Copies of this chain bind each other. A is one copy, B any other.
Amino acid sequence: MAVQAVESSTASEGSTGSAGSSVSLGPAVALSCRECGERFPLGPIFACAECFGPLEVAYDLPTGDPEGLRKRIEAGPNNIWRYAPLLPVPADVADKPNINPGFTKLVKADNLARELGVTGELYIKDDSGNPTHSFKDRVVAQAVEAARAFGFTTLSCSSTGNLAGAVGAAAARAGLRSCTFIPHDLEQGKVVMAAIYGGDLVAIEGTYDDVNRFCSELIGDPAGEGWGFVNVNLRPYYAEGSKTLAYEICEQLGWRLPDQLVIPIASGSQLTKIDKGLKELIALGLVEDKPYKIFGAQAEGCSPVSTAFKAGHDVVRPQKPNTIAKSLAIGNPADGPYVLDIARRTGGAVEDVNDEQVVDAIKLLARTEGIFAETAGGVTLGVAKKLLENGVLDPALTTVVLNTGDGLKTLDAVAPTTGPTVVIRPSLDAFREAGLG
């Protein structure tokens, strides 16, 4: 399970340092298989040589002095590197060129709470404030440090646009080359965002699946030698970036766990890593050990995890995505089973909303809190609303809802139903007739 590696490393490894590896990635000591628990030295690998299970980073975390650690974090920079002691990055990471995402706003959403009938504290963790305006900057920033540690000079990924932009920006700043891969038929806006940072951008004649398959081939080929694919051979490190959402939420709440979190599900990795981060904070004594519930959010048009949750299944059956929430449209989510486990273990749930509810939720958040969310944010808030209406979320508790990206990136979703109240001639008479004065 997602947290086992952490627990075993903090409990049993002591301060033995990196397990057989020569790279220096701070508290990271090994890669550990999430299925069989087998350990491997830190390296650019992502699947267990024993059972083909996914690998994740295991740590030797700085236990024993929570107050000292808390002070060290609080004295750190206003970005994710304040949590360097808990991440697979070198201790001097803040001095290296990186786009330094994170420490985004945790907005106390009192207007929204009133509208939804929430009597407890309701917060939006707003990751649209990141450098390229989505949470992807957090994970890519980790991949940059792993790439440096492993001597990779080219940063790469398969992408439907947003990730290529995040990789391009991070590579540019880090002084790495980037070469990213996208399907050839993306909208111009997404192509611009992927290309503007000046790295090589390769458009592949085919679907996103074709792009993915091609990248898997490239990793094994001499043409891809020295390349770090952030979401393939650097994935174990990359994924850890999502832990910083857990750290920030708790620190911004005054080192306090929220009672309920609502988190979007694409591959499911973000949700599992937030859970991992929360468990680490408890294990380190940085927050009180108390229960919390994790809720997962999907779009109805791509709801494999939600469907499995509601049916009581442990297995996630792939779906063919059809939703406006394209950044969540992964029909065969790799971490789906782990998400089901976390939702059930914590007493949470997984729910989905349709595209109309997604658009309504985007507008609701904009209207009440002045935050313009990407469709993924609409999914998450829409699900939170539905769970409140169904009595699954407790309105009296402290709840955090994630907005993982910016509405500027998915204008098309709301454009057909968003426009002027009225069109008038430039005269006071016309204005008075419109009844707005």
Stretch binding the partner chain, chosen from A286-294, A350-358, A413-421: A413-421
Interface flag for A36 (CB, 8 Å): no
Stretch binding the partner chain, chosen from A55-63, A125-133, A270-278: A125-133
B414 touches A192 (CB 8 A): yes
Binary flags per residue of A375-400, CB closer than 8 Å to B gives 1, else 0: 00000000000000000000000000
Interface flag for A193 (CB, 8 Å): yes
Chain B residue numbers with a CB within 8 Å of A424 are: 202-205
Residue count of chain A within 8 Å CB distance of chain B: 80
A221 touches B428 (CB 8 A): yes
A425 touches B172 (CB 8 A): no
| Alpha-carbon gap, A70 to B213, bound state (A) | 56
A172 touches B78 (CB 8 A): no
A206 touches B426 (CB 8 A): yes
A172 touches B422 (CB 8 A): no
Q: Say which residue of B129, B369, B418, B427 sits within 8 Å of A214 (CB atoms).
A: B427
Interface flag for A195 (CB, 8 Å): yes
Stretch binding the partner chain, chosen from A14-22, A27-35, A181-189: A181-189
Interface flag for A211 (CB, 8 Å): yes
Q: Which of A149-178 contact B (CB under 8 A)?
A: 168-173, 175
Chain B residue numbers with a CB within 8 Å of A170 are: 370
Chain B residue numbers with a CB within 8 Å of A420 are: 182, 184, 191, 195, 201-203
B213 touches A426 (CB 8 A): yes
Chain B residue numbers with a CB within 8 Å of A371 are: 131, 169
| Alpha-carbon gap, A210 to B223, bound state (A) | 59
| Alpha-carbon gap, A122 to B390, bound state (A) | 55
A369 touches B173 (CB 8 A): yes
Q: Which B residue sits closest to A429, measured CB to CB?
A: B223
Q: Which B residue sits closest to A425, measured CB to CB?
A: B205
Interface flag for A37 (CB, 8 Å): no
Interface flag for A259 (CB, 8 Å): no
| Alpha-carbon gap, A133 to B419, bound state (A) | 20
Q: Which B residue sits closest to A220, measured CB to CB?
A: B428
Interface flag for A298 (CB, 8 Å): no
Chain B residue numbers with a CB within 8 Å of A200 are: 421-422, 436
Q: Which B residue sits closest to A108, measured CB to CB?
A: B97
B422 touches A370 (CB 8 A): no
A223 touches B422 (CB 8 A): no
Chain B residue numbers with a CB within 8 Å of A168 are: 370
Q: Which of A96-128 contact B (CB under 8 A)?
A: 97, 99-100, 103, 105, 110-111
| Alpha-carbon gap, A182 to B422, bound state (A) | 11
Chain B residue numbers with a CB within 8 Å of A421 are: 200-202
| Alpha-carbon gap, A367 to B170, bound state (A) | 10
Chain B residue numbers with a CB within 8 Å of A213 are: 426
B173 touches A211 (CB 8 A): no
A415 touches B203 (CB 8 A): no
Q: Which B residue sits closest to A427, measured CB to CB?
A: B214
Chain B residue numbers with a CB within 8 Å of A217 are: 428
Q: Say which residue of B100, B179, B205 sits within 8 Å of A105 (CB atoms).
A: B100
B193 touches A372 (CB 8 A): yes
Interface flag for A64 (CB, 8 Å): no
Chain B residue numbers with a CB within 8 Å of A205 are: 423-426
| Alpha-carbon gap, A197 to B367, bound state (A) | 4
A169 touches B372 (CB 8 A): yes
| Alpha-carbon gap, A426 to B411, bound state (A) | 30
By Cβ-Cβ distance, the 6 closest A-B pairs, closest first, are: A223-B437, A198-B367, A169-B370, A173-B370, A203-B420, A172-B370
Q: List 22 A-B contacts (CB under 8 A).
A: A78-B78, A97-B111, A99-B370, A111-B173, A131-B370, A132-B372, A133-B406, A169-B371, A172-B367, A191-B418, A193-B372, A193-B411, A200-B421, A201-B419, A201-B420, A204-B424, A204-B425, A211-B426, A214-B428, A218-B437, A221-B437, A222-B437
